[in-house]
Amino acid sequence: MKQTLPVVGLACSACSANVERRLNQLEGIASATVSLATRTATIEWDESRIDLPKMKSEINAIGYDLVIESGRNSADIERSAYRSLRRKVTASWFFAVLTMCFSMRWIDLGSVFANNAAALLMSLANLVVCGLGFYVHALRQLRHGMTNMDTLVMLSTGIAFLVSTFNTFWGESVWGIRGIEWHTWFDASVMIITFVLTGRLLEEKAKKSTASSIRELMGLQPKTARLVRDGQLEFVPITTVAKGDILEVRAGEKIPVDGEVRQGESFMTPDGAYVDESMINGEPAPALKRKGAKVLAGTVISQGKLQLRARQIGEETALANIIRLVQEAQGSKAPVQRVVDKVSRIFVPIIAGIALLTFVLWWFGGGTQALPHAILSAISVLVIACPCAMGLATPTAIMTGIGKAARNNILIKDATALELLRRIDAVVIDKTGTLTVPNQNIDFTKADGLAFEERETLKPHAREAVDMLHNKGIEVHMMSGDKEEAARYWAMQAGVDHYKSQSLPQDKEDRVKELQAQGKTVAMVGDGINDTQALALSDVSIAMGRGTDVAMDVAQVTLMGDDLRNIAQVIDLSQATVRMIHQNLFWAFIYNIICIPLAAGIPYLFGIDFQITPTWASAMMAFSSISVVLNSLRLR
């Protein structure tokens, strides 16, 4: 069985990597992929060896939650978590301002001890009310030999708070009498938590935009239906509609289920109504639906009204399947993400080691007098390192790119296909049903007397689509079962330079192999069962949405309409998405490469009096994550 389930508690790439690794360790799970951007886990498992409650308990043990209850809605969980996070941010800023007032003596209580004690109470309240989750999650992770961003927050705030508390009560008696300048860093402790929480809030707000395509698709699903029962009409929740029920839909309303038309009427025709299917197939003109015609959930009655019999309901509808495909695709991982995940698993331990080394070198290098500076530098290193930016670099770009494709009636099934599309330099395309459509307005009983240019018609924009591919330097190879004369004619009409007549399914597969042997990255475009061999073999497989179910099942990309220009457009989108991934990864790595040495105090070695304090370090860390998400949103 395969299912995509929400995961609660993911905060950084190390989190998603830890959940994914734990799931894949469980006996009975064939594969599991966890996406930080979508907060979901796509799991394939053997039901005879493991069940969902077992998976849930294992994920709970390491500090996260797998949502398996039918009554729990992922959208509701996200909204509740967002509201809770917003409350914590508000409270944390309140405590932060008060702590700063006492630490900086903007509010003077009469003595250093009194001000430090007040700052201690404020920062302790902040740790308990707003930051306790970091400690709980980090400790659960450590018990299972795992680390994540919470580990760095726990270490940095814990060290700052404990050292500051020690110095508040014993700083003067232990360090002062030895002539060592001592400090408290309650303000740093509270500001680290405040900036991290604020960063996560802004990050969540920005990521809502990357998921807008899914919300738009879900918005196509009506919540109620007009049921025809014993000649009477009544509104019922969509969840109560059963297969075989008769429903009535009127002009301007969305069709609630996939069904078959029983009767229809409009002012233009007495036996049918017009349905706008553009949200499903991209076709701008409404389609006339008469008795026996199929209609799809989410499409809109533009004129008249229809009565239909429900055939597919709930998760069985074409719209639900599209939503599921887009969700799975947005949660899938591009090959480059696998490398990032491996780095994320060791990132936190490496940063902890660098922080310890920074402390030791400053202490031993500068003696006891350098102890405050050694502590400050170690805390800054722990705070400024940001695995979140690296972890978000790829999935946010993938999520936005696949969502944009969905809004343009292009379904991309996985991130690998989106990444590969930009490398396409050869396209093998089936003729009949893909480049051309049969002409149904002729008398086929007299077919022997017809010229081949009369049996079928070149699809609108087909010639333009081929020209767009040629302009990108992509070879186009047309495969046709027609005789030589007909194949040559249609190749000329479409502007195709390479073609093969009298092609069998094996010939299409052989052409794909031949081009791949030449070192080319090949896309196969088809719509029928006879194209499936070549579709399966190609580097990227593209099916027409009006083709056979088999072709669409095999294909990695489905064009929901008949506009072949979408092939060039999805290649452009692939190039833009991968370019965005590279930008995000570049800035994420550069940020860490530059900022970690600065936080460690390297400038002092060159006589430059410069130090990134823990407060500024936490602000910079939060901004790095937000910037990656905002950069990805430029794809929209």
Give catalytic residues, as residue numbers.
Answer: 430
* Contacting residues for 202 by C-beta, under 8 A, at least 6 apart: 622, 626
Q: How far apart are CA 44 and CA 50, in angstroms?
A: 11
Give the Cα-Cα-Cα angle 168, 180, 375 (nearest 5 degrees): 65
Distance of alpha carbon 598 from alpha carbon 525, whole angstroms: 52
What is the number of other CB atoms lying within 10 angstroms of the CB of residue 1? 10
Q: What three-state secondary structure class fits 535?
A: helix
Helix/strand number for the chain, H first, E second: 22, 22
Beta bridge partners of 8: 65
Closest CA relative to residue 214, chosen from 328, 74, 327 = 327
Contact 325, 411 (CB under 8 A): yes
Three-state secondary structure call for residue 341:
helix
Is residue 335 packed enough to be buried (19+ CB in 10 Å), middle (13-18) or exposed (0-12)? exposed
The closest of 133, 138, 129 to 90, measured between CA atoms, is: 129
- Closest among 384, 377, 386 to 602, alpha carbons compared: 377
Element (H, E) at 96: helix 74-103
Longest CA span, the chain: 112
End-to-end CA separation in angstroms for the chain: 34
At residue 613, what is the residue type?
T
Tokens 């630490």 found at: 103
For the record, the structure tokens of 270 come out as 């007495």
Q: Would you mind telling me the total number of residues written for the chain in this entry?
A: 636
Distance CA 59, CA 276 (A): 44
The tokens of 222 are what?
């009506």
Start-end of H helices in 408-557: 415-420, 452-455, 462-471, 484-494, 505-517, 532-537, 549-554
Q: Tell me how far apart the alpha carbons of residues 153 and 11 are, in angstroms, rounded to a whole number.
A: 12
**Whether 96 contacts 190, CB under 8 Å:** yes
Closest CA to 75 of 38, 41, 34, 33: 38
Give helix 387-407 / helix 614-633 axis angle, nearest 10°: 20
